[in-house]
């Protein structure tokens, strides 16, 4: 199973993820987020970083030009759109870079209906917990909403995933909806402070999840 660690703000921690063969590292380009990348790492340092890991830029309702400028400056491999972006906008971005469209999932959500217009507009989906604001909540949504749904596109599972969740992820992978689980996305439950990861929590989780 693949792993994405979101909201990186330190180059040494990015190297630490590389050493653990984590597949994806997220960088937050949403200024209202406490994990906003701006000023934390020089763009040139991120752009020059070479290795196994894929660099993912996370945006909320950006313009096309904002995404393209950041992709060029930071050497991004992928884009994650976490706002209210339209299918047309997602398709325009995905013509240039592999694109993840995030969906915020609330109670009793009809997921098939929610994603129906995006099936051909992006490369991957991401399912996160709904809240009254953009960005993560540190809480899980009810994975049973996905368990009985066959989402016919690879997706990332996000929202409050914790160091103790490897067994729950294994159980979810055995459901109908879990067949297209592409990666798990971790963030706040593995932090010392916003944007500062606890590598001692990440390492055993990575080992456990990669063994699934």
pLDDT level of residue 154 (50, 70, 90 thresholds): very high
Q: Which domains does the chain have, with CATH numbers?
A: 2-210 (3.20.20.70)
pLDDT at 194: 93
State the helix-helix crossing angle for 166-173 and 199-210, rounded to 10 degrees.
Answer: 30
Beta strand pairing status for 98-105 and 124-129? parallel
69-118 tens-digit pLDDT: 999 999 999 999 999 999 999 999 999 999 999 999 988 888 999 999 99
Give the whole-angstrom CA distance, residue 91 versus residue 119.
10
5-28 tens-digit pLDDT: 999 999 999 999 999 999 999 999
Instruction: Give the count of alpha carbons within 13 A of 15, CB side only.
Output: 6
pTM over 0.85: yes
């Amino acid at each position: 199973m693949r792993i994405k660690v979101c909201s990186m703000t330190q180059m040494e921690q990015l190297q630490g993820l590389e050493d653990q063969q984590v597949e994806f590292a997220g960088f937050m380009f949403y200024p209202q987020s406490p994990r906003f990348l701006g000023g934390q790492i020089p763009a040139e340092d991120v752009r020059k970083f070479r290795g196994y890991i894929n660099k993912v830029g996370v945006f909320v309702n950006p313009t096309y030009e904002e995404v393209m400028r950041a992709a060029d400056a930071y050497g991004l491999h992928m884009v994650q759109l976490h706002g209210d972006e339209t299918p047309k906008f997602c398709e325009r971005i995905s013509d240039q870079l592999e694109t993840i469209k995030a969906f915020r999932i609330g109670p009793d959500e009809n997921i098939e209906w929610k994603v129906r217009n995006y099936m051909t507009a992006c490369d991957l989906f991401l399912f996160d917990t709904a809240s009254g604001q953009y960005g993560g909540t540190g809480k899980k949504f009810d994975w049973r909403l996905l368990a009985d749904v066959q989402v016919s596109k690879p997706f990332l599972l996000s929202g409050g995933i914790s160091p103790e969740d490897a067994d729950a992820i294994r159980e979810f992978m055995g459901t109908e909806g879990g067949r297209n689980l592409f990666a798990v996305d971790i963030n706040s439950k593995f932090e010392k402070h916003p944007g500062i990861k606890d590598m001692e929590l990440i390492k055993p989780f990575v080992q456990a999840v990669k063994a699934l």
